[in-house]
Amino acid sequence: MAYQSTNPYDGKILQTFDPINANQLEEKLHRASVCFSDDWRSRSYADRAAVLSRAAAILRERPEEFAKLITLEMGKLLPQSIGEVALSAAILDYYAQNAERFLAPEKLVTAKGEALVESSPIGVLFGVEPWNYPYYQIARFAAPNLMAGNVVMVKHASSVPQCALAFERLMQEAGAPAGAYTNLFISKDQVSQVIDDPRIRGVALTGSEAAGAVVAARAGQNLKKTTMELGGSDAFIVLEDADLDKAVKCAVSGRMGNSGQACTASKRFIVVEALADRFLEKFQAALENFKPGDPLDKQTTLAPLSSAEALENLLGQVQRAVAGGARVVMGGERIDRTGAFMQPTILTDISEKNPAYKQEFFGPVALFFRVPDEDAAVALANDSPFGLGGSVFTQDIERGKQLARRIDTGMVFINAPASSSPELPFGGVKNSGYGRELSGAGIQEFVNKKLIRVA
């Protein structure tokens, strides 16, 4: 499996990298293990924070340099790539500033004597990361775990190798010792080898259900802790008392950000009958304004999908949905031009028997449903194998909170599409995975919560 950087805007191959060989992999595993045992785990929080803070500062000093690689490799609009760089810097700073507080010893109330729980690092961690947010995905895995005293090894998606190398160089430039952060260009067979290696003490994956099932099973055979951040088919519920213009604006940003290629993108638009026709009309009109172009041009509003393969997969899903009875309100086809461009698309009349009903659409395809009331909206939102995020739109905030509590997901946003911030826990339930990243919860996943008891 080659690691190949291909520009989805014009299909040109930019760079190709071969997987490392067995000797090189062993050298990297050994270096990481030694770095953990002889150096990184024993450093103070202040020493670790200095490295992460410097990395954040570098990202802020050279945002377009880092952002351009994202756009060239997976097609994200340049302003959104710059935003991803800024968010990654914020995550690095957040853990540099808060890790010691999050992991402070906890005194327990006990009938006799004294008891406390201390948090300590567990060792070398292995992360398998996707292409859609090439720096942000790494930052939210690496930052908390490096600050906890672990060291990390990352197998990035094969389509973003330049971003993978850029993040490794970033950590080196920021002063991380050799082995604290390691990029791995490895094959699928080598992924299994790394998971099996006794020096690896935990595994984190962000990606598809299929990849999560394989990696989690392999780690389970080795009795290793895992976290899984998988797919989503987030419901976007609009109640009859919603601010319609705001709901439509948020629907557009929630569906079209990163060309719809986000696990927390708004995907199923569930609108109460009283507003359904007006919402659909305004939503369609807004999507018709998107214009394809070079994602490096800041005037472009519609970027390509990440690859020709991603485009073909999405087109196939739409065709199968239509064959199953869905109606195309708009779009549904590739755009007739060079590059992996998909028309913004709305599908409706999707029955429970339609394959689209319970699938995730990773691209600018919106599924539209009309329902009689909020109870029906909740039932439809929960009738999904996924449980990542969702949105509720209503001008009655207490009503929104009550409805949010009934939705079976890890996150619900009221009067906003899903978003990410360092202080907000990120994760889901059901087939969307388990474990949390970001916030105080994210740093607790791969530490030893050790009880110390004085009789």
> Which residues carry out catalysis?
229, 263
Cα separation of 442 and 301, whole Å?
33
Cα separation of 379 and 375, whole Å?
6
CA 91, 96, 99, 101 torsion-angle sign: negative
Q: Which residues contact 355 (CB under 8 A, 6 or more apart)?
A: 317, 320, 321, 324
**Largest interatomic CA distance in the chain:** 75
Cα separation of 274 and 264, whole Å?
26
The vertex-328 CA angle with 319 and 413, nearest 5°, equals 100
Cα separation of 218 and 32, whole Å?
21
The phi and psi torsions of 278 (rounded to 5 degrees) equal -70, -40
Nearest Cα neighbor of 10 from 339, 340, 293, 342 is 339
CA 228, 255, 420, 275 torsion-angle sign: negative
CB-based contacts of 189-198 (< 8 A; 24+ apart in sequence): 190/19, 190/20, 190/25, 191/128, 191/155, 191/215, 192/218, 193/25, 194/25, 194/29, 194/126, 194/153, 194/155, 195/126, 195/219, 195/222, 195/224, 196/222, 197/29
Cα separation of 335 and 230, whole Å?
29
Q: How many CB atoms neighbour CB 102 within 10 A?
A: 18
b/e code 300-337 from CB counts within 10 Å (16+ = b): bebbbbbbeebbeebbebbeebbeeebebbbbbebbee
Q: How many residues does the chain have?
A: 455
In the DSSP assignment, the letter for residue 128 is: E
Tokens (6 digits) for 412: 């619900």
